[in-house]
Structure 1
Amino acid sequence: MAKRKKTVITYGTFDLFHIGHLNLFKRLKELGNYLIVAVSTDEFNQLKGKKAIIPFEQRIEIVRSIRHVDMAIPEVNWEQKLYDVKKYSVDIFAIGEDWKGKFEFLREYCEVVYLPRTKGISSTDIRKLLADFNISKDELIKAFEIIDQLKKNLE
């Protein structure tokens, strides 16, 4: 007897792909046997006041390449979640616990699960770390001049 398909769906930007994203996809796949990941488009992120570093086309291709993901679709607006739950006969809507309580209206159509984030990693943390490494062009030129001078002194 064939096992019934149990569809799980999640949403996110998935910028600066990291181990937290991978852990999320693994946990989601364990909840069911068919995982749909909706990746926020650059235009939708702009409406949300977010700016991804990696362009949408690359982010969705990365997500599509993850073995735990069966389908990746674009997320273009807030209203799409209910539409997708119905369209894809979703059994479980799952998202990070930072969204807890925001999607209770979907319980009428499917199970709603809020998952904990992977401790110690987030795209926001990576952005902050990258900002710490952000030096100006003039500072970089000066650093190379110092390196050149040190080389000359060693010769």
Structure 2
Amino acid sequence: MSERTVITFGTFDVFHVGHVRMLQRAAEHGDRLVVGVSADALNVAKKGRPPVFTEDERMEIVASLKCVDAVFLEESLEKKRDYILEQGGKVLVMGDDWAGRFDWVSDVCEVIYLPRTPSVSTTGLIEHISSLG
């Protein structure tokens, strides 16, 4: 019987309980969880700002979780299919804020969208911290 590898992607900046819960739930869909952490340059391209923590720091944080088996650096959004194939992903898990946007890889793996943790977001946390002064 072959191993069922779950793969997910994210920035994981200003790591919070929503990230933990998402990764724990993703891990439940297989035997092994592999996480692609967005490169600093990719984050700037996507969000128009650098992450608070460097890609190396964010990869170290994610790798330290017991539910995560491996991490790698995601350098290009266009290479999602390549990353899935390279990592042996059988299941792609993403937050439901991305619902439908990764269905195009359903020919190489199962695609599952999980509900996000309500009222927790990195952008919201950064805005809140900034408003404190």
| TM-score bracket for the superposition, by shorter chain length | over 0.9
SS in 2 for 1:39: strand
- Superposition pairs for residues 52-91 of structure 1, below 5 Å? 52-91=51-90
Matched letter for residue 9 of structure 2: Y
1:33 aligns with 2:38: no
1:11 aligns with 2:9: yes
User: Unaligned regions of 5+ residues in structure 1, if any?
Assistant: 135-155
Q: What TM-score, normalized by structure 2, do the two folds share?
A: 0.94
1:112 aligns with 2:111: yes
4+ runs deviating over 2 angstroms: none
Q: Highest relative contact order (Cα 8 Å, sep 6+), 1 or 2?
A: 2
1:100 aligns with 2:87: no
More strand by share: 2
SS in 2 for 1:31: coil
Matched letter for residue 108 of structure 1: D
Matched letter for residue 10 of structure 2: G
Partner of 2:129: 130
Q: Distance in 1 between matches of 2:39 and 2:84?
A: 19
Larger radius of gyration: 1
What percentage of residue pairs aligned between the two structures are identical? Answer: 36
> Matched residue pairs, number?
132
Partner of 2:45: 47
**Aligned alpha-carbon RMSD (Å):** 1.1
Query: How far has the Cα of 1:4 moved from its partner?
Result: 2.9
Q: Distance in 2 between matches of 1:102 and 1:113?
A: 11
User: Unaligned regions of 5+ residues in structure 2, if any?
Assistant: none
Matched letter for residue 109 of structure 1: V
Q: What TM-score, normalized by structure 1, do the two folds share?
A: 0.82
SS in 1 for 2:77: coil
Q: Distance in 2 between matches of 1:20 and 1:39?
A: 16
Q: Distance in 1 between matches of 2:125 and 2:119?
A: 10
Query: How far has the Cα of 1:46 moved from its partner?
Result: 1.3
